Amino acid sequence: MLGKSDIVLTEKDVLQALKGVKDPDLGRDLVDLGMIRNIRIGEGKVALTVNLTTPACPLKAKIEADVRSALQARLPAGLTIQIDMTAEVRGKGAAEAGDIPGVKNVIAVGSGKGGVGKSTMAATIALGLKAHGASVGLMDADVYGPSIPHLLGASGRPMARGEQIVPIEAAGLKLMSMGFLLEAEQAVVMRGPMLHGIMQQFLRKVDWGELDYLVIDLPPGTGDVPLTLSQTLPLTGAVVVCTPQEVALLDAVRAIAMFRQLRVPVLGMIENMSFFDVLAYLQDRGGPEARKLVEGKSFFDEAGDERAYLFGQGGARRKAEAMQVPFLGEVPLNLFLRESGDVGRIDQAFRDGSPSKPYLMAMVENLAAQISIRNLKNPKMPKLEILN
């Protein structure tokens, strides 16, 4: 305790009271990190702002509770304490050659093989970060199969403003995709150097503006396009999407190996199609008789688990632990998510009541935490090169 209520408090007293309160993800003192701001001291009242490193902080409530508890324990009793929670996304330090002006973080979303839902996960990562209040762009680098425009119901031709290309906007995101430049059924027939040139234009000729995060949907595999992009992008890190079965995990391991060889930090793995919630499906789609049948019953196993693990269970989590890669979360098979994407409204997966929302938000928050940790450990973007 600092003393009796007649002692005049100073900003130094408040900061001293908060010494030792840490960000659980970063493992560092909030005061040392400069996250305690705008301290106001009035008669019988202390107010301050906690400025988080991302609006998608998964432990926001815990940090607020820890700050309040420390102030109540170490300042005179009877004070009214007001805590305002804000966020300012941190990015790279000093600008380096190849940086995209105004973009704080660039996240590549890749996979070892196609068909694992990589583009859906890239879109939901961008939408989840946007839902938390961040400014986000989404670049579709999957040039042979550009699906981002369809998932978001975006259309039109990008326009030029001077020497810059104005991105298409949909669902609050800034978008760029080869899909905006092609007819609906037109195939992309290009060699690597031509694709490399197009990707460079998407990155450096597009007026992305001020972005907290630019999410890039890479082509699947470890071929020419992801290799070229990984060499030239100022990446904060990469996310690898896979499904639980062993054949998909083998390819995911190769994707992680590629990023590591290119000295790109791997921010984590996402396991898509983790399980199918049979009971939820029957209750939602089975009609009155099916809902009545399953009401209050559990008939899939003795433990009461109605999850059907169609592709195996926990494969990505175990592989992430073995490879010392963060596991960002599991996303189950869900008809609502699939149908939302099919009709160009993948953003509906984040509406209240969506069965996918809790899983997607947990995954996005875990990723945002890993980005903050990466920026704290290595505030500058890595310079990338292929190792001999």
**DSSP assignment string, 168-222:** EEETTEEEEEGGGTS-TT------HHHHHHHHHHHHHTB---SBSEEEEEPPSSS
The pLDDT of residue 302 is: 45
For strands 168-170 and 173-177, give the pairing.
antiparallel
State the Cα–Cα distance between residues 67 and 75, nearest whole angstrom. 12
Average pLDDT over the chain, rounded to an integer: 85
State the Cα–Cα distance between residues 386 and 388, nearest whole angstrom. 7
| Per-domain boundaries in the chain | 11-87, 106-377
Write down the CATH superfamily of domain 11-87: Fe-S cluster assembly (FSCA) (3.30.300.130)
State the Cα–Cα distance between residues 100 and 205, nearest whole angstrom. 10
Q: Is 277 in a helix, a strand, or coil?
A: strand
Model confidence, pTM:
0.88
State the Cα–Cα distance between residues 28 and 89, nearest whole angstrom. 17
Mean pLDDT is lowest, of 150-159, 223-232, 254-263, for 223-232
Architecture of the domain spanning 106-377: 3-Layer(aba) Sandwich (3.40)
11-87 shares its CATH topology with 106-377: no
Whether 56 has a pLDDT exceeding 90, the answer reads: yes
Mean pLDDT is lowest, of 61-65, 128-132, 138-142, 282-286, for 282-286
